[in-house]
């Protein structure tokens, strides 16, 4: 433990953040402004997620952090260590054992339960930002439910490329009201946004918190003749053989050799422990 308060932030600040979270849950998909604090890690490196996690954690929680689906990526390690030091909470790499999961860019493959909270790190919370850079304008557009610009953008993609040219941070409509940025998760993860767990989104630099309550309707924007397609690499995992997971492409030599592995490292190792094998599974080789 350190000299700082439990989970670093003082209780007044946590109360302010909890209020913003509750408001976010009450208005699914609405971006609630909050007085984001300077954290001891840089803006853009998960300060929003860290503040939301700090406001949610209790001493009995079990905390998991993933970045790109993996527990051992450097920034995930750094954030996990931060809460080990400042909150002394138990940490885990197992999705099923975690009560609070902070994530960057992925939703775990394992379906989450009602006893879990998924906290997203969000770089740009405003789905309309790259269509209209002004906050004063985009807030008005949300208030008036004026989302024509977004549909025009998606239509222009189709006209130009034959497809909607958004592969991650694919916009969704929450509970038939707010268009929301699901953070830069691959669109493969979008269908999972309808889940049993509470989903909280924290954008520190942009001072916004928003939420999706459990079992909330979340629809990825599309057109009748161009339905949403949550595509992924057309391969099975080379380590665990899974055909239904999001895959990372790993370059293994300088002659174009590559392999595909689950981006969710915990899910992949669990499957391997259960005896599933992929094309290049190292465990099989060791057994020979």
Of 127, 124, 59, residue with least CA distance to 91: 59
Helix-then-strand count for the chain, H and E: 7, 12
Interface characters, 215-244, with another protein (x: CB under 8 A): ----------------xxx-----------
List 62, 73, 91, 216, residue binding another protein (CB under 8 A)? 73
Interface characters, 153-192, with another protein (x: CB under 8 A): --------xxx-x-xxx--------------xxxxx----
Q: Pairing mode, if any, of strands 117-121 and 172-174? A: unpaired
CA–CA gap between residue 283 and residue 278 (Å, rounded) = 10
Per CB under 8 A, contacts with another protein among 90-129 are 104-106, 123
Asked if 83 is part of the footprint of another protein (rule: CB under 8 A), the reply reads no
**Cβ atoms of 268 and 239 closer than 8 Å:** yes
Asked if 149 is part of the footprint of another protein (rule: CB under 8 A), the reply reads no
List 93, 110, 194, 248, residue binding another protein (CB under 8 A)? 248
The HSE-up count of residue 211 (CA atoms within 13 Å, CB side) is 21
List 135, 146, 194, 222, residue binding another protein (CB under 8 A)? 135
- Residue 208's φ and ψ, nearest 5 degrees, are -135, 145
Interface characters, 5-24, with another protein (x: CB under 8 A): -----x--------------
The residue (of 217 and 259) whose beta carbon lies closer to another protein is: 259
The residue (of 137 and 175) whose beta carbon lies closer to another protein is: 137
Q: Out of 29, 46, 202, 204, which one is annotated catalytic? A: 29
Per CB under 8 A, contacts with another protein among 196-215 are 205, 207-208
Per DSSP, the three-state class of 20 is helix
Of 153, 150, 179, 180, residue with least CA distance to 165: 153
Per DSSP, the three-state class of 179 is strand
CA–CA gap between residue 134 and residue 129 (Å, rounded) = 7
Give yes or no: 268 in active site: yes
User: In the complex, what is the shortest distance from the CB of residue 78 to another protein, in angstroms, rounded to a whole number?
Assistant: 6
Which residues are CB-neighbours of 218 under 8 A, at least 6 positions away? 172, 173, 174, 175, 180, 182, 190, 193, 194, 212
Residues in contact with another protein by the rule CB under 8 A? 4, 10, 33-40, 42-45, 47, 67-70, 72-78, 81, 104-106, 123, 134-136, 161-163, 165, 167-169, 184-188, 205, 207-208, 231-233, 246-250, 252, 259, 261, 263, 265, 280, 282, 285
| Residues annotated catalytic, as ranges | 29, 237, 240, 262, 268
């Amino acid at each position: 433990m350190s000299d700082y308060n439990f989970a670093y932030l003082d209780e007044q600040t946590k109360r302010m953040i909890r209020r913003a979270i509750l408001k976010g849950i009450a208005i699914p998909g609405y971006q609630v402004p909050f007085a984001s604090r300077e954290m001891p890690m840089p803006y853009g490196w998960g300060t929003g997620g860290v503040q939301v996690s700090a406001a949610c954690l209790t001493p009995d929680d079990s905390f998991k952090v993933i970045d790109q689906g993996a527990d051992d990526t450097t920034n995930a390690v750094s954030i996990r260590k931060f809460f080990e030091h400042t909150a002394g909470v138990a940490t885990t790499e197992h999705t099923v054992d975690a009560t609070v999961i902070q994530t960057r860019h992925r939703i775990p493959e394992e379906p989450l339960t009602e006893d879990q909270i998924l906290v997203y790190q969000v770089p740009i919370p405003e789905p309309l930002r790259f269509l209209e850079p002004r906050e004063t304008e985009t807030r008005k557009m949300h208030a008036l439910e004026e989302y024509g610009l977004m549909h025009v953008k998606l239509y222009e993609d189709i006209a130009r490329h034959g497809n909607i040219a958004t592969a991650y941070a694919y916009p969704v409509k929450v509970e038939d009201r707010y268009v929301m940025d699901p953070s830069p998760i691959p669109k493969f993860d979008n269908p999972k946004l309808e889940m049993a767990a509470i989903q909280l989104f924290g954008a520190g630099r942009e001072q916004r918190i928003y939420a999706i309550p459990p079992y909330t309707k979340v629809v990825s924007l599309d057109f009748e003749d161009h339905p949403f397609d949550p595509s992924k690499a057309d391969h099975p995992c080379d380590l665990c053989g899974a055909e239904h997971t999001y895959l990372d492409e790993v370059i293994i030599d300088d002659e174009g050799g590559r392999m595909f592995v689950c981006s969710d490292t915990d899910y992949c190792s669990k499957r391997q422990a259960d005896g599933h094998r992929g094309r290049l599974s190292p465990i099989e080789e060791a057994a020979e």
